[in-house]
Structure 1
């Protein structure tokens, strides 16, 4: 794929994201652009231009390696807030200090292993290799997940939903359990708003099934699930 086609491909992918957000009742302003840039290394102004259908250069969405490495060094800091020294980085990935210097000034091109090791050192796996389209879509997926669930909750008549973070975060098993359980919460909310003659929520077999399922979870998973439930149905206290 040439550079021009790559830009068009990224722009088309973001257009689909924008269209879905608008269909779900949101604008792109629900996106945390600062976090998006942190995850991808692509400047906010560039992403906004792509969303707006404005032209950008290939280098803006796929900067040279030296710029990407400099970005990681400036944003992935030590606990004391300082940058990792060239020597610290070199020792961590098993190369000479001069190698890091040459990579940063662009006089040396990295091999795959060095790229991978540097990304892992900065806790940004795949940063140099997955490409701008996948990087942006991966970073935007949690936003779409939240928007889809929020639309479903509102469709069920549930108000004041306060989901914190992406439902895709955490273990795969817990993620699947949460998705299934939250879907049942939607159905229970719909049932509870039905006319009284259709039966109360206390007699709802789905409620009994959900209760039994939650009881079977481990204590740790049960607390995680109940925390989500409390947030979803508006029981979370302001100071929690």
Structure 2
């Protein structure tokens, strides 16, 4: 399962790199925001973006960590941090029960879901492993960047080929785009002619 999550993350990182090229991902992505949205420590986000792996945690460790992370990173309307009692109230349990959840990392499903919903977090926030959680956040970022930048002129594979040499990337891209247009135009013309013959 973890290998699949890392493979999906690698694919998303590659797609993001294509969209932001020639910039570096670390220059474009907001590491602090990714950490805030995923519950992953800032340093682990950096390691994962570099394509490396982080220490794998058990589900209970992830839940315990994410509960503590929420308490330290979120603020109440009055600007103060959330106490154990505040979380207990959100989850509809006693302070003692919440303390137990924070210690054991084993909250009730309903309680964890109420806390997650209060903060507007995705369904798997409490239990997702680090590569899975980061991948979900990066897919949102990828969609935003693709929408902002408009559709790519050419497929990512051709774009990667063109960007291998930054000194000639623009000229190479123009040549490849022209070549691709010539091939697709010839294929379109041939297809139109074949369709006209079938109709007659």
TM range, normalised to the smaller chain? 0.5 to 0.7
CA distance in 2, matches of 1:64, 1:133: 12
User: Cα distance, 1:38 vs. partner?
Assistant: 0.5
Q: Per the alignment, do residues 20 and 123 of structure 1 end up closer, same or farther by CA in structure 2, a change over 3 Å counting?
A: closer
SS at match of 1:105: helix
1:121 pairs with 2:118: yes
Equivalent positions of 1:141-156 (< 5 A) are: 141-152=139-150
1:80 aligns with 2:75: no
What is the TM-score with the length of structure 1 in the denominator?
0.53
Distance (whole Å) between structure 1 residues aligned to residue 60 and residue 49 of structure 2? 16
Give 1:43 deviation, angstroms.
1.7
User: Structure 2-normalised TM-score?
Assistant: 0.63
RMSD (Å), alpha carbons: 2.7
Aligned to 1:139: 137
Unpaired runs of 5+ residues, structure 2, are 154-200
Greater RCO between the two (CA within 8 Å, min separation 6)?
Answer: 2
In the TM superposition, what whole-angstrom CA distance separates every residue of 1:35-55 from its partner, at most 9, and x where no partner exists?
A: 100011112221222232333
Alignment of 1:9-88 (within 5 A): 9-24=4-19, 25=21, 26-29=23-26, 30-59=28-57, 63-88=61-86
Shift of residue 34, structure 1, vs aligned partner: 0.6
Moved over 6 A (4+): none
Which position in structure 1 is the counterpart of 2:100?
102
Q: Is the 8 A contact 1:46 1:56 kept in 2?
A: yes
**Do the aligned partners of 1:93 and 1:118 also contact (CA within 8 Å) in 2?**
yes
Q: Cα offset for 1:62? A: 8.7
Cα distance in 1 for partners of 2:122, 2:51 equals 29
Count of equivalent residues: 149
Gaps spanning 5+ residues in structure 1: where? 156-240
1:33-81 CA-partner distances (Å, limit 9, x unpaired): 1110001111222122223233321129994322110101111211222
Q: 1:61 to 1:14 in 2, by over 3 A?
A: farther
Distance 2:83 2:70 in 1: 12
